[in-house]
Amino acid sequence: MARIKQDELVFLPLGGSGEIGMNFNAYGYGPENNRQWIIVDCGVLFGREGNTPGVDLILPDIRYLMERRETVLGIIATHAHEDHIGAIAPLWPGLRCPIFATPFTARLIAGKLEEAGLTSKVKVREVPVGGQLELGPFLLDFISITHSILEPNLLAIRTPLGVVAHTGDWKIDPDPLLGEATDTEALERLGNEGVLAMVCDSTNALVPGSSGSEAEVRDNLIALVGTLKGRVAVTGFASNVARLDTVARAAKAHGRRIALVGRSMQKMVEAAKDTGYLKDFPPVLDETEAAELPPHKVLYLCTGSQGEPRAALSRIANGSHPHVELDEGDTVIFSSRVIPGNELAIAEIQNKLAARSIGILTVQEHHVHVSGHPARDELAQMYRWIRPKLALPVHGEIRHQMAHAKLALELQVPQALVPENGQMFRLAPGRPVLVDEVPAGRVHLDGRILVAEGEGLAKDRRAMGFAGLLVVALVVDHKGRIAAPPTVLGEGMPEPVEEAVLKAVEETLDKNKRADPDELAENVRRAARRAAQEAWGKKPITRVLVTEL
């Protein structure tokens, strides 16, 4: 007799556990052989030049859900940061499901779908701020919280087996300046209902105290700009619309006109205005107009606070920006933190600015930035509101997730589980438990092609970056005899290496007069690598091409 399996509620993270970025979480409901899924967030991780040369975006490997895409009811975005929405456009063709978000987030996702040429295939469906969404067995409440972007949402995910609180990214900002404040009443009500599990942001679980408010940053930035004489450039995250508003107000307060430098600044201001925010943002100058103003009349708001080589600030620091020039006596304010891994790139820019006597002000000496993620006091407050039976810390490296789990237990949460990408947890019925492990990992968006990380392209490129590429071309006749002198081509290596390799190849050919072409190629490859190693101390990637006449 066929066994009818009972309904279960499961949680499956496929990204964002073990790394800050690439957030991807799925919830499944139904019996094991007939589950329906929702996806909460679908984000990217940015490639690092050293680790993944030539790869800009890293995406989660979601083949488990792609293989059952008919059962995926939709992607829901909690907010519009790239680590939550950046993978929607590249991965959507493998899912072909509806997409849901609040208006500002929807507007930014729509822009990405348009860039990817997907507008005719899928439209983002808007959920009002504070609204509700029903998808199969899931009923979702969008509860307004605060973060470092407009319209961040905590999702209360209701199912017939119980409620899960999915926080997304958040902090408790008593005065977020723009957009909704934290809906503490809704959070308290949710806690009173009884919550099975809370899936929660771990980014700052090691940071004591509270993250601070955008309002403090506003006061400080306005005062700071007032002390400066020459041109002022402020750099920060374009997505922090409240901060952009603050910078505009600082400019206005001191008689400066504002110019936006960098496409993402312009795009973000447009998206905010289109969705009803920034109503009194001052008119912005274009870069050429700003260049004609006296230095004390201008303030540039520019991208590139993380040292991104193609962003505005890097080009300004190099003196290679077509319209924006800074000189001695001008000042750059970094209204941002240093994202781990970007230290060297940022230091390089700051050194270039310093060498030209351009002033640099950062969060180290001035309170010009606050984090958008909850420090420990805020986490404690959230656990007091929600009082879940289970803590599932996500959105962090393992050390953050572990510290978060420990804190949750100290706050009397009965159980805490630190998930890894690909681990499936049954949240109900019964005590939560790990029930399955599914394929998970990373996929690189390499140019326009998706490539599984394991295929080793990035590894080959790193190797080529370290020791170049060596190509040996041989010509043999139909009897396998050498029919022309060999050619050696070394890319990215000193000249004597090529000469040493050519000599070794010629000697090998002399000794292999009767070898078959495959054997000959392999012997030549080994000899070439050995010669490079002896002459240079490095083994380049080596390829042998044999042309048979």
**What is the Cα–Cα distance from 233 to 316, expressed in whole angstroms?**
10
Where in 30-69 is the site for Zn ion (CB under 5 A)?
none
Taking CB under 5 A as the binding criterion, the range among 74-82, 137-145, 379-387, 454-462 that sits at the site for Zn ion is: 74-82
CB of 208 to Zn ion, least distance (A): 21
Report which DSSP code applies to 295: G
Contact present, 324 and 302 (Cβ < 8 Å): yes
* 332 to 351: interface string for Zn ion, x by CB under 5 A: --------------------
Cα 151 off chain centre by: 19
Which of these segments, 31-39, 77-85, 129-137, 535-543, binds Zn ion (CB under 5 A)? Answer: 77-85
Give the residue with the Cβ less far from Zn ion, 83 or 446: 83
- Is the CB of 83 or the CB of 308 nearer to Zn ion? 83
**Contacting residue, 19, 82, 83, 141, with Zn ion by CB under 5 A:** 83
The amino acid that residue 257 corresponds to is: R
Minimum gap (Å) between residue 203 Cβ and Zn ion = 7
Tell me how far, at minimum, the Cβ of 120 lies from Zn ion, in Å. 29
- DSSP 8-state symbol, 86: T
Q: Nearer to Zn ion by C-beta: 52 or 239? A: 239
Q: Least distance (Å) from Zn ion to the CB of residue 366?
A: 24
Number of chain positions touching Zn ion (CB under 5 A): 3
> CB of 374: closest distance to Zn ion in angstroms?
12
Q: Rounded distance, CA 336 to CA 240, Å?
A: 10
The smaller minimum CB distance to Zn ion, of residues 37 and 237, is found at: 237
Smaller CB separation from Zn ion, 35 or 79: 79
| Minimum distance of Zn ion from residue 162's CB (angstroms) | 26
Burial class (CB in 10 A: 0-12, 13-18, 19+), 117: exposed
Per CB under 5 A, which of residues 91..130 are in contact with Zn ion?
A: none
141 binds Zn ion (CB under 5 A): no
Tell me which residue has tokens 């973000």: 268
DSSP 58-80: EEE--HHHHTTGGGEEEEE-SS-
Write the DSSP assignment of 381-446 as a string of letters: HHHHHH--SEEEEESB-HHHHHHHHHHHHHTT-SEE----TTEEEEEESSS-EEEEE----EEEEE
Distance, in Å, from the CA atom of 173 to the CA atom of 372, rounded to the nearest integer, reads 9
Determine the Cα–Cα distance for residues 342 and 441; give it in Å rounded to an integer.
23
Tracing tokens 């007069």 back to the chain, one arrives at 513
- List, in sequence order, every beta strand (DSSP E) within 192-329: 197-201, 232-235, 257-261, 298-302
Task: List binders of Zn ion among 387-426 (CB under 5 A).
Answer: none
**From 80-88, 181-189, 208-216, 358-366, span contacting Zn ion (CB under 5 A):** 80-88
**DSSP 8-state class, residue 159:** E
| Least distance between Zn ion and beta carbon 373 (Å) | 8
Residues 215-243, buried b or exposed e (16+ Cβ, 10 A)?
bebbebbbebbeebebbbbbbbbbbbbbb
**Vertex 130, ends 218 and 24: CA angle to 5°?**
85
Shortest CB 78 distance to Zn ion, Å? 8
State the number of CA atoms in the 13 A half-sphere of 478 facing the CB: 0
Structural contact between residues 127 and 142, judged by C-beta atoms closer than 8 angstroms? yes
Q: Between residues 198 and 225, which has the closer beta carbon with respect to Zn ion? A: 198
Q: Which stretch binds Zn ion (CB under 5 A): 76-84, 232-240, 258-266, 480-488?
A: 76-84
In whole angstroms, the minimum distance from the beta carbon of 442 to Zn ion comes to 17
Closest distance of CB 172 from Zn ion, Å: 15
- The nearer residue to Zn ion, 151 or 169, going by C-beta atoms, is 169
Q: What's the order of all strands across the beta sheet hosting 232-235?
A: 257-261, 298-302, 232-235, 331-334, 359-361
In this complex, which beta carbon is closest to Zn ion, that of residue 25 or of residue 210? Answer: 25
Nearer to Zn ion, 81 or 231 (CB): 81
Nearer Cβ to Zn ion, position 46 or 536? Answer: 46
Whole-number minimum distance, CB 21 to Zn ion, in Å? 7
Q: Smaller CB distance to Zn ion: residue 81 or 112? A: 81
Q: Single out the residue of 545, 474, 546, 470 nearest to residue 510, CA to CA.
A: 474
36-42/162-166 β-pairing = unpaired
63: exposed, middle or buried (C-beta count within 10 Å: 0-12, 13-18, 19+)? Answer: middle
With contacts defined by CB under 5 A, name the span among 58-66, 83-91, 347-355, 362-370 that binds Zn ion.
83-91
Work out how close the CB of 423 gets to Zn ion at its nearest, in angstroms, rounded to a whole number: 20
For residue 319, the minimal CB distance to Zn ion (Å) is 33
Q: Which residue's CB is nearer to Zn ion, number 25 or number 508?
A: 25
CA distances from 82 to 88, 282, 549 (A): 10, 27, 54
To Zn ion, the closest distance from the beta carbon of 306 in angstroms equals 15
| Binding flag, residue 81, Zn ion (CB under 5 A) | yes
- Sites for Zn ion among residues 420-449 (CB under 5 A): none
Distances (CA, A) of 503 to 196, 466, 547: 72, 23, 20
Per CB under 5 A, contacts with Zn ion among 153-182 are 169
Closer CB to Zn ion, 81 or 529, in the complex? 81
Residues in Cβ contact with 430 at an 8 Å cutoff, skipping those fewer than 6 apart: none
User: In this complex, which beta carbon is closest to Zn ion, that of residue 26 or of residue 361?
Assistant: 26
- Binding to Zn ion (CB under 5 A) within 310-329 occurs at none
Piece of 3-11, 79-87, 352-360, 499-507 that binds Zn ion (CB under 5 A): 79-87
Residues that bind Zn ion (CB under 5 A): 81, 83, 169
